[in-house]
Structures are given as structure tokens and as C-alpha cells.
Amino acid sequence: MFEVLVFVYENYWRGDACPEPEQLGRKLSAHGFEADEIHAALQWLDELSVATQGVPLQREADASRVTIGARAMGEAALAPASDSMRIYSAAEQDHLGAECLGFIHFLQAAGVLAGGLREIVIERAMATSGQPVALDELKIILLMVHWSSGIEPDALVLDELCDGREGRTAH
């Protein structure tokens, strides 16, 4: 499924430029992807589209409330306080693994992953098979969440998400 998602990301730079699912399915099939991979990816993308509805985060008149994801349909969520802490369930810890959880924390601590987007990333990661999710797969999920929401990641974040660790020199 992740190969399909990478293909979609590379060929449709913006989420709103992506064709309808039926047409996209035909294009993916023509490029040689297996039917089960295409089906899983299209379903995942459809659920991503629903999850990112209303993103980017829209502050309401009451600054303590923010609309995120599928909650845009009238139900507002409280914006996380600056001193709040995200507690991961046992299922999330098992499925995401320490490396992915550490990477999510790194992005959030660096101020490049807002709480609302973090929740969408976690929800989409939980919707994947395989346990634990590999860090490279989480990076694809992060790219796709940004892609679907229309938010362009910071250049340094994009570099971190797109480049592998091979050949990097630690300072």
C-alpha cells in the first residue's frame, strides 16, 4: 500500500489535483500496482480525506477552541494547552513502536506538528496493517496528511521526511 501512496504523492503534488478514486484506480492499475494494494490505498486515502476535512486548523472566535479534522462538522475540540501531554494507549504504543512515537514527539517538540495534525497522523497510522509501523511508513503517512490537508511542510521537515539516514554524518 505504501508504494501506491508514494506514487500518488509524487504524481499529484497537491491533494486537490488528485483524480477521482475510480480514475486514480485505473491509472494505478495501468502502472502495474496489484488490485489489493490499490483497493487498500484508495480506502486509506478516502478515510484520510474525511479525517483532514476542515484542516488547516481553524481558530474560532473563542481562542480556546479549534476545529480539527472530521470534527469540522460542528463539533469543536479544545485546543491542547501548551503544558499538556499526549498519553498513548497500549494499542497505539504497540502499533506505532518506540521509534515512531519518538519521531512524532520530536516533530511536535520542534513545533512543526500541531496537535490536531498529530492526532490525524496517529489515527491514519493505526489504520495500517503491520506492527509496529516502520519509521519510513510513518514518514509517508506524515507526508500524506500534509498533502491531503493542503499544508506544505517546512523545508527542513520535508527534507527529514524524504531523505533516508544513509550517508548522513552525525554532528
Please state the rounded mean pLDDT for residues 114-142.
Answer: 92
- Answering whether pTM is above 0.85, one says no
Q: Does the pLDDT of residue 10 top 60, yes or no?
A: yes
pLDDT at 74: 37
Per-residue pLDDT reduced to its tens digit, 30-60: 999 999 999 999 999 999 988 888 655 443 4
Q: pLDDT digits over 58-107, tens only? A: 434 444 444 444 444 334 445 566 677 889 999 999 999 999 999 999 99
Report the SS3 class of residue 20: coil
CA distance 7 to 75: 34
Q: Which residue has the cell 499526549?
A: 86
Asked whether the CA dihedral 9, 15, 19, 25 is positive or negative, the reply is positive
Across all residues in the chain, what is the average pLDDT?
80
Which range is least confidently modeled, 29-33, 119-123, 160-164?
160-164
- Are 52 and 120 in contact by the 8 Å Cβ rule? The answer is yes
Cell 516502520 belongs to 134
Per-residue pLDDT band at 155 (split at 50, 70, 90): confident
Q: Which three cell numbers stand for residue 114?
A: 500541531
